């Protein structure tokens, strides 16, 4: 976890998602981005643009996507993907979806043309396309792409990855900037494709780095619920995954070392055979390490009977207290729900900080 945390050190918020795409998911991504942008003096004015472009990116995935049966055949090598990178001075939105081979030439030409135009020319092109009503079978003649270019401020980055004889992976990246003097892109499309490949190989469902607060927790949990509920029911493993994730984020929010009043951390959910694996990490105050180690060691060594008795005792002691006042119940909940199938690590980083990570199988 620390290697990924370090890799994403410049991002104030990072969220990479592989899964279902619909209006409910769009709303939750918007909530997460708006939560951070509301508290950022530099980027607050970009909130409406970002919300629009998140929705447009999702529509682009749906519009240019393939049907469910085709997707099942190609699922081993591809999953639809969306990612948000929030930096101090810009936001980067990236996506990946499958398109059929015949669409590549026209789509590439459209984006290349759009990238040569200034803001006035883009406005004229939008009006011209709208007036001529030259709509395609996939839902538009590039109107969405024109709007993306108008609102982002920098050229659209894209690439096509060969998948097989009939389909390609279409990667798209937008950078939304506040200051007109910013001319250079922050993220190379190749780095987005490389990270996508790494996360896909790990069977990643979600990777998040940033503020581990309740305001972020709630939409993230809703994203997972929507994804897991695609068939209308939760499996026992899916239900355990959500319960454990909630406890891990609450634990990080409470005990992580805070910088500017923000408890920053990282977590991922991956699929492993018939189960899910949650990994979570965060900096921790050095003077809390030994006590935390002792607590984890004691819990790890408990028998099932001891764990149940201890959990019941703590539950009764905490039942009348507010969530912030409750102590000791979170780690017991994680241990009980995972049947004690977890591991943890404390490491000293190169800058002298202590980083705690935990891995739980659900």
pLDDT in tens, 46-71: 888 888 888 888 877 776 555 556 55
- pLDDT over 70 percentage in the chain: 87
- Does residue 250 surpass a pLDDT of 70? yes
Helix (H, G, I), strand (E, B) or coil at 265: strand
pTM over 0.95: no
Q: How high does pLDDT run on average in the chain?
A: 83
The pLDDT assigned to 193 comes to: 93
H or E stretch at 16: strand 13-18
pLDDT tens column, 319-339: 665 555 555 578 888 888 888
Picking from 19-28, 96-105, 113-122, which range would have the lowest pLDDT averaged per residue?
Answer: 19-28
Distance, in Å, from the CA atom of 352 to the CA atom of 94, rounded to the nearest integer, reads 34
The pLDDT assigned to 139 comes to: 41
Q: Which residues pair with 277 in a beta bridge?
A: 270, 361
In order, the DSSP letters of 99-152 are: EEGGGHHHHHHHHHHHHT--HHHHHHHHHHHHHHT---TTS-SSHHHHHHHHHH
pLDDT tens column, 104-135: 888 898 899 899 988 898 888 888 887 775 54
Q: Which residue has the higher pLDDT, 349 or 216?
A: 349
The predicted model gives 243-266 an average pLDDT of: 85
Backbone phi, then psi, for 164, in 5-degree steps?
A: -160, -165
Helix axes 143-152, 47-63, angle to 10 degrees: 150
The pLDDT assigned to 235 comes to: 80
Token digits of residue 258 = 């805070």
- Given pLDDT bands bounded at 50, 70 and 90, which one contains residue 186? confident
- Given pLDDT bands bounded at 50, 70 and 90, which one contains residue 75? low
Whether residue 219 contacts residue 210, with contact meaning beta carbons closer than 8 Å, is answered with: no
The pLDDT assigned to 218 comes to: 81
Most confident of 38-42, 88-92, 184-188, 325-329: 88-92
The pLDDT assigned to 354 comes to: 95
- Given pLDDT bands bounded at 50, 70 and 90, which one contains residue 162? confident
The pLDDT assigned to 207 comes to: 94
- Does residue 136 surpass a pLDDT of 70? no
């Amino acid at each position: 976890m620390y290697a990924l945390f370090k890799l994403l050190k410049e991002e104030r918020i990072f969220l990479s998602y592989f899964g279902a795409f619909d209006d409910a998911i769009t709303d939750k991504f918007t909530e997460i981005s708006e939560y951070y942008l509301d508290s950022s003096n530099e980027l607050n004015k970009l909130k409406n643009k970002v919300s629009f472009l998140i929705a447009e990116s999702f529509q682009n995935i749906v519009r240019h996507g393939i049907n469910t049966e085709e997707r099942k055949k190609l699922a081993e090598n591809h999953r639809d993907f969306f990612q948000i990178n929030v930096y101090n001075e810009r936001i980067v939105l990236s996506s990946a979806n499958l398109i059929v081979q015949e669409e590549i030439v026209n789509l590439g030409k459209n984006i290349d043309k759009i990238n040569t135009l200034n803001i006035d020319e883009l406005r004229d092109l939008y009006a011209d396309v709208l007036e001529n009503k030259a709509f395609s079978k996939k839902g538009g003649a590039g109107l969405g792409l024109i709007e993306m270019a108008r609102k982002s401020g920098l050229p659209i980055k894209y690439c096509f990855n060969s998948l097989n004889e009939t389909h390609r992976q279409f990667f798209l990246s937008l950078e939304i900037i506040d200051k007109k003097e910013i001319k250079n892109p922050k993220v190379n499309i190749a780095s987005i494709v490389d990270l996508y490949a790494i996360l896909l190989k790990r069977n990643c469902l979600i990777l998040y780095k940033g503020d581990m607060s309740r305001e972020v927790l709630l939409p993230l949990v809703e994203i997972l619920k929507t994804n897991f509920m695609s068939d209308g029911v939760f499996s026992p493993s899916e239900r355990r995954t959500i319960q454990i994730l909630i406890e891990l984020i609450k634990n990080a929010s409470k005990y992580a070392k805070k910088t500017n009043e923000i408890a920053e951390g990282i977590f991922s959910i991956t699929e492993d055979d018939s189960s899910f694996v949650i990994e979570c990490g965060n900096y921790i105050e050095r003077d809390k390490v030994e006590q935390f180690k002792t607590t984890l060691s004691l819990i790890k060594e408990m028998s099932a009977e001891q764990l149940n008795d201890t959990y019941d005792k703590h539950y009764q002691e905490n039942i009348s207290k507010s969530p912030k006042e409750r102590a000791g119940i979170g780690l017991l909940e994680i241990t009980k729900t995972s049947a004690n199938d977890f591991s943890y690590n404390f490491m000293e980083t190169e800058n002298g900080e202590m980083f705690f990570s935990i891995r739980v199988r659900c």
